[in-house]
Amino acid sequence: MPPNFAEYYDAVINWKKRLAREMPLLEELARSAGPRVLMPGCGTGGHVVALARRGFRVLGLDADEDTVAFAQERINQEADAISAAGGEAKVSLLKMEQAGELGPTYDAAFCLGNALPGISGEGQLLASLKGIAGALRAGGIWLTQNLNYDLRWREKAHWFPLLSGETAKEEVLLVKFADYEQETINFHAMFLVREKAGAKWQSHARSSRQVPLFRSLLAQLLTRAGFGKMRFWGDYAKSPFDPARSNDLLVAAKKLRAALI
């Protein structure tokens, strides 16, 4: 059987710990904006379900079929709890640049987990941000969380901490490493998996090219996409962003007007 990368990625995420850290800010922003939340690059749906269980009407978007299928199964399993909370959770196979087809109907949009740098170039990044802006009402809130590339590009670390977890049948280890080119980063994720009965380890690798999304570049692209009133944080506790020290870069902004050409 081919590897199910969505299942493997989800297995190494400590969702209880992650949601405890991230949901207070997401809920604060969503409640200030309105009940309709869009989640481009939603991944395996953990945040979609968590917000829906708090009463929000959430649509998650992702461009990977296996990931969307995994997220839909998570939604199905949580359907009763979501309904009891008065929320709604849906997921759709849709690229970020196509989000504008939904119309300006959403109050907030959250793109988390370093999803934006994996979009291959500035032109596509701008198109993606314009697509998201097109799905937000005027004054809608946008939040993105990415790594601090001002720091990462300077340090150029090649190896990253090992992550581990398990699926229903397999043990999973995730080894992450990166190579640096003149303007981009080649990021590699190697999953080592084996059946819990003690079978031999097998490896499955996936590589992607990342744009180092510096604070200045992200601010420029957001402005061109029609966002403003930006706030820059270094973590989900809203600590001020420090390009020399922060691990993450979070940007909260509002949709102000039509995108610049």
pTM: 0.95
For 220, residues 6+ apart whose C-beta sits below 8 A from its C-beta are none
Architecture of domain 152-210: Single Sheet (2.20)
Torsion, Cα of 73, 76, 77, 83 (10° steps) = 150
Q: Is 86 left (phi over 0), alpha (psi -120 to 50) or beta?
A: left
Where do you find CATH 3.40.50.150 in the chain?
5-148+212-255
Where do you find CATH 2.20.25 in the chain?
152-210
pLDDT for the residue 52: 98
Which amino acid is present at 78? E
CATH of domain 5-148+212-255: 3.40.50.150
Please give the chain's pLDDT, 261 residues, in tens: 678 899 999 999 999 999 999 999 999 999 999 999 999 999 999 999 999 999 999 999 999 999 999 999 999 999 999 999 999 999 999 999 999 999 999 999 999 999 999 886 668 999 999 999 999 999 999 999 999 999 999 999 999 999 999 999 999 999 999 999 999 999 999 999 999 887 899 999 999 999 999 999 999 999 999 999 999 999 999 999 999 999 999 999 999 975 554
